[in-house]
Amino acid sequence: MLIAAFGNAYNDICDLPADRVNRPERVLVRGDIDMVLALRIAGWCLALGLMTAAYAYVNALILAVTVSTVLFVYDRDLKSQPLVGNAAVAAICGATVAYGAIAGPGWNRQVLVLMVSAFSLTLVRELYKDIQDIEGDVAMGARTFPILFGERRSALVSLLPLAFTVTWVLYRIFSSVPDWTGAYVVGVALVAGLLWTAFRSVSSKGPAQWGRRAREVKIWIVLGVVWVLVWRFRQG
């Protein structure tokens, strides 16, 4: 959480030119806090996050340092690159699953599939956010995928990771005996939500609608976590 807070704070600092167009309500844009204080907040979050990881176990520290480095490079350089920046954020989200695997019994096929699913949905959300932020990203000279190839192609590309996630959830649902309780119902709701967002993304236009699609994907990510937890509880 502290490493993520560092990433968010430093991202707001690096994104200030674009946020003046896309996010005029943010505190740095409004001048509620100055740049020096923002840098201090980011630095303290990074330091406390790394110290906490070091206190836990060595592997957690290694992963925390790796994630922090990727966040730093992303905020400074990768964010403006087509798909590369999106993939970096998606990989960081997938790494949260790795934290649990390190602390738990270890790696298995389910952990890897969960990591890929987290990567896929985060990649979709990042693409939607890039479409939403085209105007501000152009102002800061970025070369994101939607700027280079347009909204339509970006929406079509996002269907691929969505399709993977839907396929995996359906496989998990139909590989068990339907009982219409708990994990089964949550899984069906998750698939329905993902399909709804995929369908709506094909006809979405403008920052407001793409912002709505990005928020929907965030909801489906949370619902996916709930589904996994309920499924594990179901298995005993």
Q: Which tops the pLDDT comparison, 55 or 187? A: 187
Amino acid of residue 113: V
Contact 1, 68 (CB under 8 A): no
183 — pLDDT class (breaks 50, 70, 90): confident
55 — pLDDT class (breaks 50, 70, 90): confident
> Measured between alpha carbons, how far is 125 from 132 in angstroms, rounded to an integer?
10
pTM: 0.82
> Measured between alpha carbons, how far is 207 from 165 in angstroms, rounded to an integer?
25
Contact 225, 186 (CB under 8 A): no
Q: Which of 182, 135, 127 is nearest to 152 (CA)?
A: 127
Residue 210 has pLDDT above 90, yes or no: yes
Tell me the pLDDT tens digit for each residue of 22-48: 777 777 777 777 888 888 888 888 888
Name which of 52-61, 124-133, 136-145, 220-229 the model is least confident about. 52-61
Contact 169, 193 (CB under 8 A): no
> Measured between alpha carbons, how far is 128 from 114 in angstroms, rounded to an integer?
21
Q: Where are the alpha helices (H) located in 15-144, listed in sequence order?
A: 16-22, 27-30, 35-56, 58-76, 84-103, 109-132, 134-139
> Measured between alpha carbons, how far is 3 from 1 in angstroms, rounded to an integer?
5
Q: Which of 168, 178, 177 is nearest to 228 (CA)?
A: 168
Contact partners, residue 227, CB within 8 Å, separation at least 6: 169, 183, 186, 187, 190
Mean pLDDT, residues 48-60 taken together? 78
Residue 234 carries which DSSP code? H
> Measured between alpha carbons, how far is 129 from 146 in angstroms, rounded to an integer?
10
Amino acid of residue 146: P
187 — pLDDT class (breaks 50, 70, 90): confident
